Structure 1
Amino acid sequence: MYNFTLTIAKWIVRLFGRVEVKNSHLLPKSEGYIVTCTHRGWLEIVILGICVPRPIHFMAKKELFDDKSIGYFLKNINAFPVDRENPSPSSIKTPVKLLKAGEIVGIFPSGTRTAENTPLKRGAVTIANLSQAPIIPAIYIGPRTLKELRKMKKATIIFGEPIHIETRSKEELENFTELLNERTNSLQKQL
């Protein structure tokens, strides 16, 4: 269902506007990696899926899965639930397993949709450390809805240099989280 949904999404997005992708050459070709992105609306999820050449397994808040039909759809497009208030070991095990199998995991490290600079949570860095998969930071600039895409006509995704994490210290994990934040802010300035 992922590929079918992606094909429809590409058609709709191209019908309403255009997508500019910068630095796609930085995306690993065959290994698993985490792609992190800003999260202001739902459209960047769709456009990120369009711009990354392999399927993405998105972490999504568990509340989205409460409705059975929406939950069924989300699971079939590779999303998996995470309890943000009480993260369980599966919040880490599921993405680590996917990454070690060479898959791509999409994480929104601010943890919520926001238009402001929200401090990043440590989850992406922790998962990268456990899986030994790189983090590819990304920034999305553009419309948040199809209506806005029709008006603005353009959405932009820019990918950053991979961040490789290897540590056993919680303090160093915090430092890497800050590095991810700095790299994300740097991408913002490039646009």
Structure 2
Amino acid sequence: MNLYSIGKAVCRTYLSSIYKVKVIGKENIPKDEGVLLCSNHIHLLDPPLLGSFIDRPINYMAKAELFEAPILKWIIPKLHAFPVRRGMSDKQALRQGLKILKEKQVLGIFPEGTRSETGKLQKGLAGVGFFALKADAEVVPSAIIGPYKPFGTIKVVYGKPLNFAKLREEKISSEDATTHIMEAIGKLIDEHRIK
């Protein structure tokens, strides 16, 4: 058993003991294709929550500063994360993301680029649209619906893959592609809102 599998099992146990986690739409994640998994971002625990309850491992971009810390720089790559320099065009990170998708793995992205302080969906960054258009991968919108209150309900919703084949043919911009993805995430949040 590798470090990712161990971490996933520990996170799943921890999250399930603190919150009532409801997982919806796991079947919407293709089993053997490249997947761009796009989610809103409301809490530090979003990455492990998104990955702990599905079968396939998720590769994440993580801020480059984390890879400079003594212990983290050894652990983080083993948890399928790779560095990205935020606030600039990081070509190496873009190439790594495309490589992951080409190898038919799952790339997890939070299009907002940072956590939402209000919990409301923010505007997405164009980078996610770049991946959606350039990679021949399934684009799966997802939503994390909280709040993270001890023993409260948290929903993780995996939506149906978006049809990006037609959008690629239309040669839409990365910004428009991102808007399309953010609208799909917003619909999932509205449809599954905790009442």
Structural RMSD (CA): 1.7
Query: What is the aligned counterpart of 1:71 among 73, 97, 121?
Result: 73
| Alpha-carbon distance between aligned partners in 1 of 2:83 and 2:56, rounded to the nearest angstrom | 20
- For 1:10 and 1:159, the matched residues in 2 are separated by 17
Contact 1:95/1:105 (CA < 8 Å) preserved in 2? yes
1:138 to 142, 147, 155: 142
Query: Is 1:122 aligned with 2:126?
Result: yes
Q: Give the helix-richer structure, 1 or 2.
A: 1
Deviations along 1:80-119, whole A, 9 cap, x unmatched?
1111122221121101111111110000000001123321
Render the CA deviation track for 1:48-73: whole Å, top value 9, x for unaligned.
Answer: 11122110001111122221212222
- 1:104 aligned partner: 106
1:190 maps to: 191
Regions of 4+ moved over 6 Å? none
Cα distance in 2, alignment partners of residues 68 and 54 from structure 1: 28
The answer on whether the counterparts of 1:132 and 1:164 sit within 8 Å (CA) in structure 2 is no
Give the TM-score of the pair, scaled to structure 1. Answer: 0.89
Letter in 2 for 1:117: L
The residue identity in structure 2 corresponding to 1:135 is V
Compare 34-43 and 104-113 and name the one that shifted more.
34-43
The residue identity in structure 2 corresponding to 1:187 is: L
Deviation at 1:137, TM superposition (A): 0.7
Q: CA deviation at 1:143?
A: 4.0
Measured against aligned partners, the alpha-carbon deviations of 1:31-61 in whole angstroms (never above 9, x if no partner) come to: 1101111111121211111122110001111
SS at match of 1:68: coil
Asked if the contact 1:133/1:164 (under 8 Å) is kept, the reply is: no
1:2 to 1, 4, 16: 4
Secondary structure, counterpart of 1:57 in structure 2: strand
Gaps of 5+ in 1: none
1:144-184 CA distance string (max 9 Å, x none): 4xxx3x341x2111112212432584x53322211111111
d(CA) in 2 for partners of 1:70 and 1:32? 27
| Pair 32,164 (structure 1): closer, same or farther in 2 beyond 3 Å | same
CA distance in 2, matches of 1:90, 1:189: 35
Unpaired runs of 5+ residues, structure 2, are none
Contact 1:129 1:167 in 2 (8 A): no
Counterpart for residue 162 of structure 1:
161
